[in-house]
Each structure stands twice: as structure tokens, then as C-alpha cells.
Structure 1
Amino acid sequence: MTWFTIIMIGIAAATLFALLFTTRYLFAGRTLRRVRIFMLLFDIFGMGWFIVRATLYHLISGPALVIETIIIGFMTQIICTAFVLLAIVLRFCWRRMMAVPVDESRRRLLVHASVYPAAALGLSLYGGLWERQAVVERDFTIPVKGLGAGDGYRLAQISDVHLGGFFSVAELDTLLSKVAAQRLDLLVVTGDLFDDVTQNEEAAKILEKYVDAFPDGIWFCFGNHEHFRGIRTIRQYLARTHVQVLVNENRQVPGKNLWLVGVDYPMDREHFALQRKAYMKEACEGLPEHVPTVLLGHHPECIDDGAEQGIALTLTGHTHGSQIGLFGKPLFPVFKYTRGMVKIGDSYGYVHSGNGSWFPFRLGCPPEIAYFTLKNA
């Protein structure tokens, strides 16, 4: 049994406790029993489906509306659980500090238990239907030694589009149109764009449509989902375009004092770090020393590799920023670098929050377009 499954079972148990706790104060008799049976079945189905989906997400799919409904219900339960457990803890601490005796007749917090599921449902609907599509734009200025680009060199990053039921080729077209309107020098895509075998070929054509909108083109590195969805076929689609695909190699931007390095995603989980290092070594072969360089790598730990090589800026994705945040910080920072800017010595790294996802929910972590202005240090 994996740690993921154990965590999910723990979440399911806590969720059921919260549901039993709140329904006790909202219903009675047969209605209470029926509601509890319904919620139990929903929890078993929803949690079971989510575990299977999360474990085999590269193999299975389903109707978008059905999945969105399950996710909203699932997140409603999770948020409700958090509210209930927090209220119980706060009330317990308050009674202890104030020496307030337990009084069953004055449990207003419990009598008004309907507040918890109502607030949880509201947040779930917001995260599932609104915020996950509310793209924000972020601007950063990065000092780069030896760049000599006058007023600066401007590029944009998108990442983790996850083409499929929750992100169509039409939406990709809209996203690229929005970026192109900024009249930038270059666009980079840091993996996990191609995630639907029925739409991947059309997506490559959409990328080709916008290549000329950026004077120095569109540059691409692969993520793990490109490997899941047939990397050879995707490479064939991209070979028909003018998109600059970097697979463990480096190239100079034509006519500019700027090099781009791109690494593939290591798919050997048991030897992930070793494979990542080997890819980085291969990618930097022939790269002139002390030249202005940007590294493209899907996994955020590529930021460490970029810093070791003295690369000015490393652009990554993969984490989706954890998709749930609080006060601008990821609520579940399960990666070494989960969201935003990282500075190591004179090197900068950025973890993109993603533009799509296979789990259609975001709360406190909207999709983004990141703009970088490289200026001579």
C-alpha cells in the first residue's frame, strides 16, 4: 500500500467523522439515517474513484462534467472536515483557557452546524468552476551578467496546460493569443502540454500558428505527461512545426547573446536524481562558459542543477503550485520548490503554477502567465 493511499484513507476517515458530526445537528430519525447512508456511499465512490484516478491518471479519463461534479463534492467534504475539526479544536482550547464548563444546551457552534457544509460548498464551487480558469499575469525582472540587451529581453512562460477534458485546444488558442498580445521576444513552454491523444496533433498546429508572433519563436521542453501520452508521436507532431524543442541540448537564440538549455523529464523513478544529473550534463555539452543562459526543465529540482552550472534563470513547472494555497503560499509544499521564485547565489529559478491540471480544482493558486524581463546585470 502506497503512502498516497494511506493518506487518502486517513482523509476519508476524517471526512466521515465530520459528516457524521454535522448531520447529527441537522437531521433526525429516518432522514438522518438516509443522509448518512448517502454520504457514506458518495464518500466511498468519490474517494475510491479519486485514488484510482490519481494512481492511473495517465491511463484513464472520463466525462468532464462527471469528474468536475465528483471533485466539487470531494473538495466540499475535505473543506467541511477542516472547518469542523478546526472549530472543535478552537472550542476545546477556549473552554480550557476560560475554564468554561461543558454545557450541552449552549453549543451554538454545533447547533449552527449547517454553516460548515454551506461554506465548504461555496468554496468548492468557487475553486472548481471559477478560480481554476481565472488566469493571473506576473512580471519579474532578472539581472543577467553579460546580456547586453539594451532595454531588456522579454520572454513569457506557460506550463502544465494538460490538454484534455478540462483544457481544450480552443482554450490553448485563447491562452497563446493573450500571451502574443504582449509583443514579447520569446515564449517558453515547460512541459505537460500534450496530455490527450485525440487533441495533441491539433495542439501542435496551434503552437505553429503562434510561432511568428514571437520574434525568437516558441521553445519547448518535455514533461512527464508527454511521455505518458506517446512521446514518439508527439515529437513527430512537433517536428512538423517551427517550435524549438530542446531535449538534453542547448542552442543559441539566433542573432542574440542568449543561450537556451532544455532537459527531458527523467522517467526512471528509482534513479530519478542520477538520470536528471545525466540529462543536465548532456544538455550542457558544448555550451560556452559564462554566457547568458536560460534553462528549461519540467521538474523544479532542475533549479538546483541550473544554480550549479551558474545559469542565470531556470524555468520549471510540474507542481501546479500545489493548486491549493493560503496567503500566496502553497498549502501542500510536497516538493523542494513548489511555487514561485527561488534565488541561489546569482542564479534564479521559477516554479510555474501551471495553466491547467488533471485535477480540476484550484483555491488560492490560480493559473498564471509568467513574464520575465532579462536585464544586463
Structure 2
Amino acid sequence: MTDTSEARSADNAAHAPRQSLLRRLMRYLPLIAPVLLWAVPCWVLLHAGQHWPLPVTLAGTALFVLGLIGMPLAMMRGHGKRQQDWAAIVGDTLLGSSWVLFTWSVLLGVLLRLTLTVAGVGDGQERARIVTWAVLGTAAVLLTMGYAEARRVPRVRRLDVQLPRLGAGLDGTRVALITDTHYGPLDRARWSAQVCETVNTLEADLVCHTGDIADGTAERRRAQAAPLATVRATRAKVYVTGNHEYYSQAQGWVDLMDELGWEPLRNRHLLLERGGDTLVVAGVDDVTAESSGLAGHRAHLAGALDGADPDLPVLLLAHQPKFIDRAVEGGVDLQLSGHTHGGQIWPFHHLVRLDQPALAGLSRHGTRTLLYTSRGTGFWGPPFRVFAPSEITLLVLRSPQRAPSP
């Protein structure tokens, strides 16, 4: 026993410096990241062998310095205590633009330059100029397409989901899912109304919103959220909180959704009955709820399922996919989540996967539990979606006991 304890102590001692270094790096990340986002494209586009005329180099460098200074200032004014929407729009747009420029400066700055060198195309300056125009052209195209994708009414994604415990009477139950609408600085009241009109065409039995309704308080974003009152469902409209509600007076959003005719499933459930069979529809607060300090808010699956027959199938609404571990332990059949946005701006999805077990689509966890992760209906922050299209989802629940088609 002593040898084991000593080994563990030695192992902990060996890992301590690395953990300490990682913590220090994470502490400085908010300072390092903006510098890299602007400095790398500046170097690749203006200074890495291009030999532009001096006025071009100076003017271009000044623009990048202005972006480096202006972006965090605008973000602070827009998302800090002042909550100035115009500043948030400027800061968010600069953030998205710098991310796309940084990504393609790195990729094309290395790969394209290497390809041109191996192919023997031009001299060093000519290759550098080709890289510069390739980066600018790629960024311009992706940002234009990404803006259009972010602002459009999402396409409907349809899929059948078979639940082994679902009774034959519930076969064909239609579940519409919207999530991460993120009503915010850009007024999207008209977009919101069009989304709701699209949901109504699906003729769903159950309509779900799995959180992150908005960035801002319910009072401030009421006009954009108001069209949610027009959504129709034959059985129920249900809602759970996301992490962004807890940045913006979550109880106000719970009360507004209740006022708009949605049933907040705050660690509770309801029963959906059809054809003599029953489905438990449960919901939990977001996993960040407890740390928000808001009284009575926390993610509590046992409370959500309290009183439900354990033999009945369970559909669970939980904003973040990472709740799936608890869902598996609780015997949930299908969890619906959002939060990830599918990465929103490629290749940010690699960072999302460090925090979440799924990025988008249907996945299996354990022997029983399925997880559907939506890419989200809206967008957060930067008004761009690059290789991560938004969606409204229609899931048709299928029972293995259903009668075969003729």
C-alpha cells in the first residue's frame, strides 16, 4: 500500500508542473488569441516576402492594428455592462472576419506556398503575392456565403428515429426541434416569424426549444422572441434553458416563454399519450444553472423523472450534449440538445469537440440512449456560418412494433 501511495505522489508531482503551465497559458489565452488572430494574417498578407510598396504595407498594417485594438474594445462595450448593440455587431463581425482570415492565412500560407514552390511557379515574391490574393479571395467568398447562411431561414432536416421501447400507438409521433435562436444585437424579428411559420408547416405533435433563446434579457429581446407565440403543436410546446439564459436573467426568459404558450420543463416532465401508449417528455435546466447562483436552478434529472413509470420510454431535453452521461445512467431513450452550432465557423468544430461528446446529428451512447445534437437554428456572435449550416429539425419517432407498410 505504501509503494502505491508513493507512486501516486510521484506521478502527481510529475504532472503538477505541466498542469500549472497549462493553467497559466489558459489565463493568458484571452490576451494571446486576439494578437494571433490579427498578427498572423498581417504577416502572411503583407510581410512574408511580398515586398509591397511602402504605402501599401503601412496602410495594411495600420488596418490590422486597428482591428486588433478595435475588436476587443467593441466586444467589451457590446457584451459588457454597457450592452451597446452597435458595438456588439462591430465586435462580433470583426471576430468572425479575423477568424476566417487567420484560418486561411495559416492553411494557404503553408500549403499553397509549398505547392507553388514544389511546382516551380515564379520566384519568392510572386508566390507570396499569389498566396495573398488567394487568402483574400477565399476569405471574401466564405464570409459572403457564411453571412447569407447565418441570416437565412434554416432548412428543415428530417429523420426517422427508432426507439425500441416506444409503443406502437406512438409510432409516427412528429417532434420539431429548434434551438440556439440567439436573438441578439441584429434585429431578427422578421427572421423569427419566418422560422415559426416554417415550424408550423411541419404539423408536429411536439415542438421543442432546447435553449439559448437570446443574448440579452427577455425585456430587451421580447420583440424578436414574440413570434414564438405563433408556433403550433398538436400536443405540447416545451422549452428548457440554455447557458446563455444564465447570462441574461434566466427566470425572465422562463416567465416569458410561459407567457408565449411554451411549457418550461425545469427538472420536470409531462406525458404524451397516443393510441394507448405513453411517452415521458422530460427537461432539465442547463448544466451551468447551478453555478449561476440563481435560486432553484440546476440540472436535476432525478427530479425531472420523479414519479414517471420507469418502464416508459423517455425523451429528454437538455441544452448541452455533455449531459448525455447522466442521461445514459438515468435510462433515457433519446436526448435532444443544441449548444454546439456544429462549430458555426470552420474549423472551430475541433475546439467544440474538446468540450462536447457530439457535434451534430444522431449518435448512440450506451446500450439504449440516443442523442440528437442540432447545429442550431440561429447563430451566436459573428453573423457567419461557414460549413456549419443552421437547421430546423423534424424527428419522426418510430416503434419497432409498428405495423409493416402494405
TM-score, normalised to structure 2, is 0.77
Q: Does 1:110 align with 2:128?
A: yes
Measured in 2, the distance between the counterparts of 1:283 and 1:29 equals: 66
CA contact under 8 A between 2:150 and 2:385: conserved in structure 1? yes
1:54-93 equivalence runs, <5 A: 57=79, 59=81, 61-64=83-86, 67-90=88-111
1:1-377 equivalence runs, <5 A: 3=26, 6=29, 9-10=32-33, 12-13=35-36, 15-24=38-47, 25=50, 27-50=52-75, 52=76, 57=79, 59=81, 61-64=83-86, 67-90=88-111, 105-112=123-130, 113-127=132-146, 129-134=147-152, 135-144=154-163, 145-149=165-169, 151-166=171-186, 168-197=188-217, 198-202=219-223, 205-210=226-231, 213-253=232-272, 257-265=278-286, 266-269=288-291, 279-325=300-346, 330-332=349-351, 333-336=353-356, 337-344=358-365, 345-359=367-381, 360-377=383-400
Report Cα offsets for 1:162-193 as digits up to 9, x if no partner: 12223533322211110111112110010111
CA contact under 8 A between 2:184 and 2:221: conserved in structure 1? no
Residue range with higher mean Cα deviation, 355-364 or 11-20: 11-20
> What's the secondary structure of 1:80's corresponding residue?
helix
Structure 1: 5+ residue stretches without partners? none
Per the TM alignment, residue 365 of structure 1 is displaced from its structure 2 partner at its CA by 0.8
Question: Residues 280, 270 of structure 1: CA spacing in aligned structure 2 closer, same or farther, 3 A cutoff?
Answer: same
Tell me which amino acid in the other structure corresponds to 1:162.
H
Per the TM alignment, residue 110 of structure 1 is displaced from its structure 2 partner at its CA by 0.8
For the aligned residues, what is the CA RMSD? Answer: 3.3
Per the TM alignment, residue 67 of structure 1 is displaced from its structure 2 partner at its CA by 4.4
TM-score, normalised to structure 1, is 0.83
Percent identity between the aligned chains? 20
Measured in 2, the distance between the counterparts of 1:70 and 1:241 equals: 32
Per the TM alignment, residue 76 of structure 1 is displaced from its structure 2 partner at its CA by 3.6
Structure 2: 5+ residue stretches without partners? 1-23, 401-406
Measured in 2, the distance between the counterparts of 1:205 and 1:355 equals: 16
Per the TM alignment, residue 80 of structure 1 is displaced from its structure 2 partner at its CA by 3.0
Provide the aligned length of Structure 1 versus Structure 2: 361
Tell me which amino acid in the other structure corresponds to 1:184.
A
Question: Residues 21, 230 of structure 1: CA spacing in aligned structure 2 closer, same or farther, 3 A cutoff?
Answer: closer
